[in-house]
Chains A and B, each alone.
Chain A
Amino acid sequence: MEKKKYEPVESVEQLEAALGRVRAAQKIYASFTQEQVDKIFLAAASAANKARIPLAQLAVEETGMGVVEDKVIKNNYAAEHIYNAYRYTKTCGVIEEDKAYGTKKIAEPIGVVAAVIPTTNPTSTAIFKALICLKTRNGIIFSPHPRAKKCTVEAAKIVLEAAVKAGAPEDIIAWIDTPSLDMTNLVMKEADIILATGGPGMVRAAYSSGKPALGVGAGNTPAIIDESADIVLAVNSIIHSKTFDNGMICASEQSVIVHDKVYDAVRNEFTARGCYLLKGDEIDKVRHTIIINGALNAKIVGQSAAKIAELAGVTVPAGTKILIGEVESVDISEEFAHEKLSPVLAMYRAKDLDDAFGKAEQLIADGGFGHTSSIYINTATGGEKLDEFEARMKTCRILINTPSSHGGIGDLYNFKLTPSLTLGCGSWGGNSVSENVGVKHLLNIKTVAERRENMLWFRAPEKVYIKKGCLPVALDELKAEMNKKRAFIVTDSFLYGAGFTKPITDKLDAMGIVHTTFFDVEPDPTLASAEAGAAQMRSFKPDVIIALGGGSAMDAAKIMWVLYEHPEADFKDMAMRFIDIRKRVYKFPKMGEKAYFVAIPTSAGTGSEVTPFAVITDQDDGCKYPLADYELLPNMAIIDTDMHMTAPKGLTAASGIDAVTHALEAYASVMATGYTDGLAIQALKAIFEYLPRAYEDGSDVEARENMANAATMAGMAFANAFLGVSHSLAHKLGAFHHIPHGIANALVICDVLRFNAAEAPVKMGTFSQYDHPHTLARYAQIADALGLGGKTDEEKLENLIAAIEELKEKIGIKKTIADYGVSEEDFLATLDEMSIQAFDDQCTGANPRYPLVSELKQLYMNAYYGKTFTDVEMPRN
């Protein structure tokens, strides 16, 4: 066949031209389809495979190293196993798609690959690199070693010609004909990535070129033979591997470390199979032949054992397979402890397996960090020993009962290790990869991610019982369905004294459920009181907890429940701020394993009976821990208006307005859903109608009942949609100035509405569903639902604010923070700290407008001085 002529590349100028040609070819190749590429890949692999023998002959002839028959295997392997491994691999365009998540992975070529080829595997490595570049639509330029340039270039040509014939652009593969350091450096500098296989010098040069490099380094593989090993298999595997291409595979065994108990047997097996154990001064002679000044003598690389013996002045039979030096030191001052790239092997006697591991560690640290280690052992009985071996070896390949030359390159003696002739050594070996290098390292993967919205949820107690007088009916279930035996009631002293627990205890008595009551809950319950309650629980061992009261009693009971079930729980951890309750760092402990939780509100507002929240105060530093987790959701809520009838006016007003803010914030929340919207709107409708009535006349059953249900509905809304900055601000007003929670919300809510309604806020909330600032429209929907009128959204917002102000007035809520007796001096002294803390409050996250601390400060000032929120000026063109 007529040989095609190629432009010679023998100077830097010619190389620059060649690089230009490859780059141009690669640009065309980058647009090829998977089908086109696979055709080229197949053709190139087939051609390389067919040339396996001539290439092997050429390599041995040119380099004077290695064994033709073994190089045939290497060439064959580089073509066949690489083709087989990637024949179906997608490397072009969309290689992965997840429609549900809206993500795609798109593979793009890297560009031009600089491939540095070593003398030890000059044709097989060239075939390997050319194939993986073709498969990934990369161009490749080979920098051969001068000692092996002819055969490397020949391999490159064969692959190129086949590829071009199958449709690849001309010049997709190029090479340097006469290598020089300047040219190698230029190739590395100009390429887009470097595939450097070579010695430490070459690899360092690659890494220092400023281009991404996939470089690998020297190995110094120790093979341990445990006492449990199959000696015949072990020794013959090592001989097979060590003699393969005269020991030039970098994963090849350099030392055998033999357990004392089997040393003689191993020794005999080696001799019986044609290996030569060096005697007396022969060891020294070989020592000084193989290593010079700590470096490997170039003359022995890839030579036969007999040839090396001759160089050392030692006479051995011509057929000798391996020269074995029985040595003791694993220090680098021992020549045999080095990488030898030839059929010369060190053999150590280890007194036990631990000693063997220690020796292997030292050998690896001195010469083969990150490369390969191997062990022969009975895997059925050696589990723990193997675990230790795997843990101790700092090598990226750990081979078991396997010839390491064949094992390390993968797919011959194991079938999940990526087949490769470039073996990464990880950071231990100064490499960027720790795996066997493959096509994935030659691709840029683009991940395309479409916008997706968060999964939301609706969670509520499994049982919510509603109706005036339903308490005993609901409690029936504790016996009839659940067969509870011991009830622990948590309430405050007022409710206890006023006999509120009596209907419950009467019912429990009637059912034969033993009970006790903790009635020391204070407003703003402390950790200390919760601990006291929990201590009582631990001795009483209830299987049901019944919380009776307002927010304080229910929250305190929830905390006691946690402490009772999980005394080890740390409140600081539980109170850790989160962005997404489903992704939070802290895993809340599982609740309900000891006791069922029943919540019975006695006022209409808090919603705690249906929420996953509880707030507890540390009495020592006054710090409030707001806990939030669906584990804290009560199991049963009983909304019985009978329990609400005697609530005093102040409480009715404060908790009623709290429920208003729950509904308003849940509706405006970025996490609002149709499920929570319905509840929030329904709650607001009821409150606007019935709160003034319930306030005026506590005995108005209809008003009370509507309020009781409205509060629980608002609770369900914010149990799922969460709240906003009104609550953030209110929490800190309560903490710093002891303003009751509902009142504190009432003082800030109207201004928060104005703040949130801004159409061009400084920053909007971060939540996929919240696609643009649209809270004004949301408030307008509320105004519509309440029938407040107004033509524009702005008017509707003003009407809503006016309605809230009117409601507040009707139920006796004052206008400003100052009106609640907070002195200006105290207020201003705490303002900055309150603003920061409000900013960091858990409720801030769901707010549709992400507040600046300065804006929160302004909201506080407005609430103090009775002003209204105005935004900084925005450009309006």
Chain B
Amino acid sequence: MNLDRIIAVRNTKTIYRDGDRCIKVFNSEHSKADVLNEALNLARIEETGLNIPKVIEVMTVEGKWAIVYEFINGRTLSQLIEENPDKKSEYISQLVDIQLEILSKTCPMLNKLKEKMHRKISSSSLDATTRYDLHTRLEGMPTHNKVCHGDFNPSNVVIADNGEHYILDWSHVTQGNASADAARTYLLFCLNHDEDTAKEYLHKFCEKSDTAIQYVQSWMPIVAASQSVKGNEEEQKLLHSWIHVADYM
């Protein structure tokens, strides 16, 4: 195992490349259950037939948990958008197609999106009244069972050199409502200060999936609340403005 080549460092994990393998080493504060769950999620998603880097092994490296999976040679969609701004629309369209491909799958053993959202709302620092409104809003949402990536954005899609696409980072995957997943992607664009692309994405998603835009929008206070669990101060401002909406008569 060669851990010389670091390809990414995140808050809680470091990712190394070793030839055609990728080693994701988690910090010690990362619970064993979370790591094993992520590996399990990946294994389950593999079974759906989606194109993802395959898990090769789960191990410990110097007492830290690590997941070893295939390294995919290619460029992420976010890199491609940056490099070819004139082709942005094409890439957004491709992004939506790939998301819809994911959403077309089911995977009964995954965690349930609504349960996860309820947990996130409960653990947020929002006041009780707002949490009550959010819980109520969430409770009224239809319960679906589509595979929802949970962190779907252009940096998690790699277009390999052979033109095939691979979807990365399945740590937030759940099964649930497609519109919730789309609302999350929209939010990620907005948090990235790219409202124009966010809007373009949303319209394309609604058009291709034949979904009413209000339906996706009705998830936004919920995904914003779940996002507010993390997020920095600047992000909190945007998230809070999204959360404080009325849903009563």
Given known pairs A181-B132, A201-B137, the reply for A301 and B246 (CB within 8 Å) is yes
- Which residues A247-265 have CB closer than 8 A to chain B? 250
- Which residues B101-152 have CB closer than 8 A to chain A? 128-129, 132-133, 135-141
Give the residues in chain A near B176, CB-CB below 8 Å.
none
Nearest CB to that of A248 among chain B residues? Answer: B249
- Which residues B213-249 have CB closer than 8 A to chain A? 213-214, 217-218, 220-221, 241-242, 244-249
Nearest CB to that of B187 among chain A residues? Answer: A293
- Which residues A196-246 have CB closer than 8 A to chain B? 197-205, 208, 216-219
- Whether the Cβ atoms of B249 and A295 lie closer than 8 Å is no
Q: Is A151 an interface residue (CB 8 A)?
A: no
- Whether the Cβ atoms of B249 and A120 lie closer than 8 Å is yes
- Whether the Cβ atoms of B214 and A294 lie closer than 8 Å is yes
Q: Is A150 an interface residue (CB 8 A)?
A: no
Given known pairs A120-B249, A199-B249, A202-B136, the reply for A332 and B244 (CB within 8 Å) is no
Give the residues in chain A near B245, CB-CB below 8 Å.
292-293, 295-298
SS class of chain A's interface: helix, strand, loop or mixed?
A: loop
SS class of chain B's interface: helix, strand, loop or mixed?
A: helix
Q: In the assembled complex, how far is the CB of residue B49 from the closest CB belonging to chain A, in whole angstroms?
A: 33
- Whether the Cβ atoms of B220 and A295 lie closer than 8 Å is yes
- Whether the Cβ atoms of B242 and A201 lie closer than 8 Å is no
Residue among A145, A179, A185, A294 having the largest count of chain B Cβ atoms under 10 Å: A294
- Which residues A293-310 have CB closer than 8 A to chain B? 293-299, 301
What string of 1s and 0s marks CB contacts (under 8 Å) between A179-205 and chain B? 111001100000000000111111111
Nearest CB to that of B127 among chain A residues? Answer: A146
State the CA gap A292–B136 with chains docked (Å): 18
Give the residues in chain B near A339, CB-CB below 8 Å.
249
State the CA gap A180–B132 with chains docked (Å): 6
Q: In the assembled complex, how far is the CB of residue A247 from the closest CB belonging to chain B, in whole angstroms?
A: 11
Q: Is A341 an interface residue (CB 8 A)?
A: yes
- Whether the Cβ atoms of B246 and A204 lie closer than 8 Å is no
Q: In the assembled complex, how far is the CB of residue B63 from the closest CB belonging to chain A, in whole angstroms?
A: 41
- Whether the Cβ atoms of B129 and A201 lie closer than 8 Å is no
What string of 1s and 0s marks CB contacts (under 8 Å) between A105-131 and chain B? 000000000000011100000000000
Give the residues in chain A near B137, CB-CB below 8 Å.
199, 201
- Whether the Cβ atoms of B132 and A179 lie closer than 8 Å is yes
- Checking A179, A202, A208, A297 against B248 with a beta-carbon cut-off of 8 angstroms, the contacting residue is A202
Counting chain B residues whose Cβ lies within 8 A of the other chain, the interface size class is 20 to 34
Counting chain A residues whose Cβ lies within 8 A of the other chain, the interface size class is 35 or more
Residue among A198, A202, A332 having the largest count of chain B Cβ atoms under 10 Å: A202
- Whether the Cβ atoms of A201 and B249 lie closer than 8 Å is no
Given known pairs A181-B135, A185-B139, A201-B139, the reply for A118 and B218 (CB within 8 Å) is no
Residue among A292, A293, A297, A299 having the largest count of chain B Cβ atoms under 10 Å: A293
Give the residues in chain B near A202, CB-CB below 8 Å.
136, 140, 247-248
- Whether the Cβ atoms of A341 and B246 lie closer than 8 Å is yes
- Whether the Cβ atoms of B140 and A200 lie closer than 8 Å is yes
- Checking A145, A204, A219, A295 against B217 with a beta-carbon cut-off of 8 angstroms, the contacting residue is A295
Given known pairs A118-B249, A198-B248, A292-B241, the reply for A204 and B132 (CB within 8 Å) is no
- Whether the Cβ atoms of B246 and A201 lie closer than 8 Å is no
- Whether the Cβ atoms of A297 and B246 lie closer than 8 Å is yes
Residues of B with Cβ closer than 8 Å to A?
128-129, 132-133, 135-141, 213-214, 217-218, 220-221, 241-242, 244-249
A-B contact pairs, 27 of them (CB 8 A): A118-B248, A118-B249, A180-B132, A184-B136, A185-B139, A200-B247, A201-B133, A201-B137, A201-B139, A202-B136, A202-B247, A204-B139, A208-B140, A250-B249, A292-B244, A293-B217, A293-B221, A293-B245, A295-B221, A295-B246, A295-B247, A296-B245, A296-B246, A299-B244, A332-B214, A333-B213, A339-B249
14 more A-B residue pairs beyond the given contacts A181-B135, A197-B249, A293-B242, with a C-beta to C-beta distance below 8 A:
A181-B132, A199-B246, A200-B247, A201-B140, A201-B247, A202-B136, A205-B136, A205-B140, A293-B245, A294-B218, A295-B221, A295-B247, A296-B245, A341-B249
